[in-house]
């Protein structure tokens, strides 16, 4: 355990998230424009919906909203993944969930590093969607060997970062000076490089195999490819983006617009081509894009099954991937199919579709120990002694993630890989197992129930 001389991992994560955001805003000015737009929209939404403000106040989300963001990186080898896991562990981030993107033609599998306890999430909800390239999917043996050699040669962590990771592991934490140095050193891994490690022809070969393969193999490190702020109204931001010179992708990924948001809705805009110095010539590469997201309530296995069923039905009926041409029809089909998903928190709770958090109210605390005080959760809620709030979804969605990847890879990249998802292989590379996100939601929900019982009934 870390001693009092150690900075809490949550504080390191908070500092790192801020440093990453500052670096990205300096490098990608559109990210700054997007942050401003999201902040303006969030203020407007909260002004117009006092109920929502109250809900987010109670769950603590209002305090974390401005610093809330996720990023994404892609690594090339098992070693890189295992070390990134150790680096994130210093900041209290653990691998949650397993996402297989190969069915959608993206040659990676992924996890999301994030804090796992509601108190830690409250200090900093920073997450990093981390993908491992599946080199075995390169068919051409020469190209595969070339990619393996190029990756084996690179060192994506600074010696300083590696030393501080070891120190944190050995001593159970870092003091303030070392934590600051760690943030600075760790940031280097995520920085953009204007130079590539390969020739322009080699880059082209890798890119012809898959744009993503070139993005990982041709560079010195796993540059952060987007940083996503959280908005309270994604449709409003999407509609306002063009007026700020930002062109969003055709459709918003995830569930349709609803009164009670569920899971996660996301949209992104394409990055510009950026000049790159290859080892023999000038060229360009585009990798960095922008994304926004709106988060809703986390779903139980039953709720998630219903979500997947309705999403698949709408997509099957569309008969093609959503794109510019069929966007309006897609939205219409999604709205139509999702009519089968209850759109009040009461129904979702009664039908066991979503997770919630329970909070004792003033009224409940005042009635503590009185003769007519209710004694079950249901009756406490009915009497207004306990308030129920949705538990926010902290994770990602594989179909949405594939859509985000694809929108930034261009139309050429539509391979279909006939391989199986391989969680075992991924976890072997990672050096540990991934955490089941549903168990985390279940525990947070239960802790809030226990706390109500403690505060009101014991
Ligand atoms: C990650 C794409 C997925 C999301 O929010 O679903 C993602 C990537 O492009 O590396 O970030
Ligand atoms: Ni993202």
Structure tokens at 269: 């805009």
Determine how β-strand 69-75 pairs with β-strand 127-133: parallel
pLDDT tens track, the chain, 458 positions: 555 599 999 999 999 999 999 999 999 888 888 899 999 999 999 999 989 999 999 999 998 998 889 999 999 999 999 999 999 999 999 999 999 998 888 899 999 999 999 999 999 999 999 999 999 888 899 999 999 999 999 999 999 999 999 999 999 999 999 999 999 999 999 999 999 999 999 999 999 999 999 999 999 999 999 999 999 999 999 999 888 888 888 899 999 999 999 999 999 987 778 999 999 999 999 989 889 999 999 999 999 999 999 999 999 999 988 888 999 999 999 999 999 999 999 999 999 999 999 999 999 999 998 988 999 999 999 999 999 999 999 999 998 998 888 877 765 445 567 667 699 999 999 999 999 999 999 999 999 999 999 999 98
**401, 402, 403: which to mutate for ligand 1, most atoms within 8 A of CB?**
401
What predicted TM-score, i.e. pTM, was given to this entire model? 0.95
Q: Where are the alpha helices (DSSP H) in 28-123?
A: 29-48, 50-59, 61-64, 78-90, 118-123
> How far is the C-alpha of 112 from the C-alpha of 156, rounded, in Å?
19
Could you identify the atom of ligand 1 that is nearest to the CA of residue 291?
A: 5
Q: Are 412 and 93 in contact (CB under 8 A)?
A: no
What distance in angstroms lies between residue 15's CA and the mean position of ligand 2's atoms?
20
Residue ranges near ligand 2 (ion) with Cβ within 5 Å = 228, 291
Ligand closest in space to the Cα of 228: 2
Q: How far is CA 168 from its chain centroid?
A: 25
What distance in angstroms lies between residue 234's CA and the mean position of ligand 2's atoms?
14
Q: Whose CA is nearest to atom 9 of ligand 1?
A: 405
**72, 249, 396, 403: which to mutate for ligand 1, most atoms within 8 A of CB?**
72
What distance in angstroms lies between residue 158's CA and the mean position of ligand 2's atoms?
25
Ligand closest in space to the Cα of 270: 1
The ligand 1 site (C-beta within 6 Å) comprises 72, 74, 129, 131, 225, 266, 291, 396, 400-401, 404-405
Domains in the chain (CATH in brackets) are 9-295+393-435 (3.10.180.80)
Cα 42 to Cα 20, 63, 233, 449: the distances in Å are: 22, 12, 7, 30
């Amino acid at each position: 355990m870390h001693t009092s001389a150690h900075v809490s991992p949550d504080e390191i994560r908070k500092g790192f998230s801020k440093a990453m955001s500052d670096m990205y805003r300096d490098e990608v000015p559109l990210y700054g424009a997007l942050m401003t737009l999201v902040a303006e929209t969030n203020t407007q939404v909260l002004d117009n919906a006092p109920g929502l403000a109250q809900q987010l106040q109670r769950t603590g989300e209002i305090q974390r909203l401005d610093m809330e963001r996720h990023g994404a990186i892609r690594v090339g080898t098992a070693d890189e993944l295992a070390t990134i896991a150790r680096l994130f562990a210093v900041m209290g981030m653990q691998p949650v969930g397993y996402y297989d993107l190969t069915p959608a033609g993206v040659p990676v599998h992924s996890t999301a590093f994030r804090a796992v306890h509601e108190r830690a999430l409250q200090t900093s909800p920073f997450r990093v969607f981390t993908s491992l390239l599946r080199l075995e999917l390169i068919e051409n043996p020469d190209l595969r060997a070339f990619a393996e050699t190029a990756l084996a040669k690179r060192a994506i962590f600074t010696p300083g970062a590696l030393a501080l990771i070891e120190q944190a592991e050995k001593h159970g934490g870092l003091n303030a000076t070392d934590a600051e140095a760690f943030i600075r050193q760790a940031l280097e891994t995520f920085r953009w490089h204007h130079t590539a490690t390969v020739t322009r022809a080699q880059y082209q070969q890798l890119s012809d195999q898959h744009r993503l393969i070139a993005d990982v193999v041709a560079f010195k490190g796993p540059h952060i490819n987007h940083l996503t702020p959280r908005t309270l109204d994604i449709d409003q931001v999407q509609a306002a983006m063009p007026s700020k010179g930002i062109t969003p992708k055709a459709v918003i990924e995830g569930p349709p617009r609803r009164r009670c948001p569920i899971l996660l809705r996301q949209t992104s805009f394409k990055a510009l081509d950026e000049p790159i110095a290859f080892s023999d010539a000038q060229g360009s590469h585009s990798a960095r894009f922008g994304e926004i997201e709106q988060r809703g309530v986390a779903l139980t296995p039953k709720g998630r099954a219903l979500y997947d069923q309705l999403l698949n039905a709408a997509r099957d009926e569309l008969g093609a991937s959503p794109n510019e041409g069929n966007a309006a029809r897609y939205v219409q089909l999604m709205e139509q199919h999702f009519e089968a998903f209850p759109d009040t928190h009461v129904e979702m709770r009664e039908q066991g579709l979503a997770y919630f958090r329970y909070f004792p109210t003033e009224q409940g605390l005042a009635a503590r120990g009185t003769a007519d005080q209710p004694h079950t959760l249901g009756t406490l809620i009915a009497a207004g002694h306990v308030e129920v709030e949705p538990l926010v979804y902290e994770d990602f969605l594989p179909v949405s993630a594939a859509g985000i990847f694809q929108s930034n890879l261009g139309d050429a990249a539509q391979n279909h890989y006939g391989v199986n998802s391989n969680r075992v292989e991924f976890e072997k590379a990672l050096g540990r197992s991934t955490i089941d996100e549903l168990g985390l939601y279940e525990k947070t929900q239960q802790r809030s129930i226990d706390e109500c019982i403690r505060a009101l009934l014991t």
